[in-house]
Chain A
Amino acid sequence: MNVFSEFWATYSSVVQFALINMLLGISIYFTLYTGLLSLANAGFMGIGAYVSAVLTIHAGTPLPVSLLAGALSAALIGWLLGLPVLRLREIYLAIATLGFGEIVRITAVNFDKFSGLNLLGGAQGLSGIPKLTTPGALLFVLIILSIFLVQFHKSRAGRALAAIRRDESVAATMGIDVYQYKMLAFVLGAFVAGLAGGFSAHLTRFVGPTDFSFNAAVNILAFAVLGGTLHWSGAMVGAAILTVLPEALRFMKEYRGVVNGVIMVLVIIYLPHGLINPKWFQRVFSKRRAQ
């Protein structure tokens, strides 16, 4: 027990960062599963972080209320953003959504100056947020979302999204309202990213405008690239690995980043569908059955 508590004292924040990143993995999974390459999730995370932190600080709301408000705000902005950008496809959607992260950053920096309020802390960021995030709360949300994801795949909506990813014209001629379902995936992703932002703000006790721009957007995408999107757990596994790995490789000092890079390159070359591929489970199971 002593060993465990020592470990926990050292690594509890790494574990919580990993759990938050797993939430972000889920958020990008929704869009990638639908075939949408959206890089807006970092921006949605920022919205969730700012809204929930402001509520906790100024209105003294409990964590669940702040989180939910942050996530709903992100979902609402997601819907507004989706109205124009979901008419774009492929790389054009990626470019438009990448721009969204920049809009969030610039808004956060200038909000106080223009509104005359003292809410977001401008370029300095917002500090002094109470530390309310707990591993238990994170784990609870992750488990709920995982159950939701499993059910989601078996549902009518999940099948519609899968069909859209594979061939959206055909999906449309099957009576599926492609635009509506893309919006559903986009807004669900925004909601979950907003939740992750709220958890992050109440863990690091700080929200800064630069936390949610280009780097963050690419990192979230890296979770999905490493873990894959063929299975709902892929991006979560990718997120866990990419969060824990730099800590585990601390002895390598400044070469840690190289290892990360090498792993990514190897995965892209040899496992283009990512680490988690449902076909392998099937193969293992069918082998067992054959024996």
Chain B
Amino acid sequence: MNMLALKRVTRHFGGLAAVNEISFEAESGQVTGLIGPNGAGKTTLLNLISGLDQPTSGEIHFLSQPIHKLPPHKINQLGIARTYQNIRLFAEMTVLDNIIVGMHTQGKASLLDAALMLPGYRAEEKRLREQALQLTQRLGLEKFKDTPADALSYGDQRRVEIARALATHPKFLLLDEPAAGMNDAETARLGELILSLAKEGLTVLVIEHDMPFIAQVCDHVVALNFGEVIARGTMDEIKANPLVVAAYLGEEESANA
């Protein structure tokens, strides 16, 4: 069953088609990789899926429901969470608070419950805090839980972003260059994390330039160039595809290939 289906999705910025008639599906429980040179339209596509931007034409379906006209908070509530290429944590908030913000939709307490300090509110706060702590443990962030997010290293901040996205209890996780700025050991651990999440049933779409990483985690890869899908398949198929080789290495290579 496909969880996410893009149907001829196009996004124009003025005369430029950043994303041009893209169609592909992400299978439930699989890790799909999205690769392509800079400017290929990968991040634009993620913005369209998460609702921060709307397609000029085409449709995006999530769990057989059209989502391309929904606002981002509705899309998140349906089960899509994301991270950002240029880390966008709430900088001065602690790691734990960042994650607790992500748990917004899991809470029900109204402002009145909080103002009157009702027992239900306090129990809920305790529950959210515990869940957030579990997430810090899972991502190896427990020693930073009370540290302001902007005091962490690049790689740690990327993991906080993932924790915050997971806090929304997504069915589908969009990762925009999660390994950028990480060292090899961190990247390897990130790969294991993504695989374990997938094993638990989470569907993942990951943008990455690190090809060994893509090969490690992805069941299926979609390659973009100039806003169009140029190839799709397993990593081995993609690697052998002359169009992909041309996109990454230049025209001359493609002429020889």
Contact = CB atoms under 8 A, between A and B. Distances in A.
A158 B114 CA distance: 10
B16 interface: no
A68 interface: no
B187 to A, nearest CB: 24
Nearest to B82: A173
Residue among A156, A172, A184 with the most chain B CB within 10 A? A156
Contact of A174 (B52, B93, B117, B164): B164
Nearest to B122: A154
Interface residues of B, number: 36
Size class of the A contact interface (CB-based, 8 Å): 20 to 34
B73 A160 contact: no
B90 A152 contact: no
A154 B100 CA distance: 11
Interface in A234-277: none
Contacts of B71: 172, 177
Contacts of B111: 152, 155, 157, 184
Interface string B35-77: 0000000000000001110000000000000000001110111
Interface of A is mostly: helix
Contact of B115 (A148, A162, A170, A177): A148
A170 B88 contact: yes
Contacts of A169: 52, 72, 88
B25 interface: no
B109 interface: yes
Contacts of A196: none
Given A173-B81, A174-B73, A175-B73, 10 more contacts: A155-B111, A160-B104, A166-B92, A167-B90, A169-B88, A172-B72, A173-B52, A174-B81, A174-B104, A176-B104
26 contacts: A147-B115, A152-B114, A155-B111, A155-B114, A155-B121, A156-B104, A156-B109, A159-B97, A160-B101, A163-B104, A166-B90, A167-B90, A169-B52, A169-B88, A170-B84, A170-B90, A172-B76, A173-B82, A174-B73, A174-B101, A174-B105, A174-B164, A175-B77, A175-B168, A177-B71, A184-B111
